[in-house]
Structure 1
Amino acid sequence: MRSHKLKTALLIGAGTALATALAPASASASAASPAPSPAAQSRSGVIVLDCFANPQVRPSTYLIACGDGNNGLVSLHWSQWGPSSAVARGLDMVNDCQPYCAAGKFHSYPVTVRLDRVQPWPGHPKQRDYTEMHLSYTADTPPQTAREVTYRIVD
């Protein structure tokens, strides 16, 4: 029983640490100097929502595994951010969860990211967001992961 509690605490701590590291800059921005709205930052007027439903434009990091923090994109460099799609290159950081996730190691996989399927952002008239993310691994892939992966970004 005690071992299970320790493993659970370690898992929660590891997930929290990764989520904090990958949290968008807007989540920790100072209230003293308000940042321009994402729509104002994006010439296309399109945003992508992070795990906390915060609008982002050209994020340098993006958490994929919102629940446990065991998968996220880092070092994103955007070559395109347009009205119908966005494209970036970066690294997919994936926890191998061996022997379990709290004790696992993160491994990086070069990836091309494409955002598309632009839709109106519910509850925010005049604002649109990308609702689908496509990952294309450019070298190795994480174990049991296809070279091409698609995620739905929930509004």
Structure 2
Amino acid sequence: MKRHSMRAAVTLCAATALAATLSTASGAPSDPRPARQRAAEPVLVDCFWRPEVRPADFMLACGDGNSRLAALQWSRWDGRAAVARGVNWVNDCKPYCAAGRFHAYAVTVRLDDPRPWKKNPDLRQYGEISLTYTDGRPEGFQKVVTYPLWS
């Protein structure tokens, strides 16, 4: 039993360090254009309630960090939709999430449904995200999954 407790503690520490690294990296400006120029475009609101335009990374599972998008390359970002290609890193949670392994899946990401952001109505935020798995997908996932985004 002690061995499992130690393994869980080490895994938890590693996950915390990874989350800290990711939050530091995502804290950097993702778009060098002036805020006034970006304000007309919809934003993607991250786990820390920061509006972002064309982020390189995005956490999908804010609570536990078991799903995130990385290496996003945006081909479209306008008043109606945004499209990018990237990688969805998903924890298989086997035998449980703290002991699980992360697997990379190529995805096309689409953001839709821009609407005023409740926290700052002067900004519009995308309200929906769709992931299309282009080369394999996590067990139990459909080829296309769509989630509402928080506001």
| TM-score where L is the length of structure 2 | 0.83
Structure 2 residue aligned with 1:114, among 98, 105, 110?
A: 110
User: In the alignment, does 2:141 pair up with 1:145?
Assistant: yes
User: In percent, how many aligned pairs have the same letter?
Assistant: 47
CA gap 1:11/1:148 in 2 versus in 1, 3 angstroms:
same
- 2:23 aligns with 23
Pairing partner for 2:38 from 35, 42, 52? 42
- For residue 45 of structure 1, what is the amino acid of its counterpart? E
Aligned residues: 150
The one-letter code matched in structure 2 to 1:137 is Y
1:38 deviates by 7.6
Asked if 2 retains the 8 angstrom alpha-carbon contact of 1:109 and 1:140, the reply is yes
CA–CA distance in structure 2, aligned partners of residues 91 and 54 of structure 1: 22
- Structure 1 counterpart SS, 2:150: coil
Gap regions ≥5 residues in structure 1: 30-34
Gaps of 5+ in 2: none
Is 1:9–2:9 an aligned residue pair? Answer: yes
Whole-angstrom distance in 1 between the partners of 2:22 and 2:148: 19
Mapped partners of 2:32, 2:146: distance in 1: 30
* 2:60 match: 64
106-115 vs 36-45, greater mean Cα deviation: 36-45
1:130 aligns with 2:126: yes
Measure, in 1, the Cα distance between the counterparts of 2:34 and 2:140.
Answer: 36
- Tell me the secondary structure at the aligned position of residue 64 of structure 2: coil
Q: CA, structure 1 residues 68+26, in 2 after alignment: closer, same or farther (shift >3 Å)?
A: closer
- Please report how far the alpha carbon of residue 105 of structure 1 lies from its aligned counterpart in structure 2 after TM superposition: 1.6
TM-score between the two structures when normalised by the length of structure 1: 0.82
> SS of the counterpart of 1:87?
strand
Moved over 6 A (4+): 35-38
Match of 2:48 among 45, 49, 52: 52
Structure 1 vs Structure 2 CA RMSD: 2.6
8 Å contact from structure 1 (residues 137, 148) kept in 2: yes
Q: Give secondary structure in 2 for the equivalent of 1:42.
A: helix
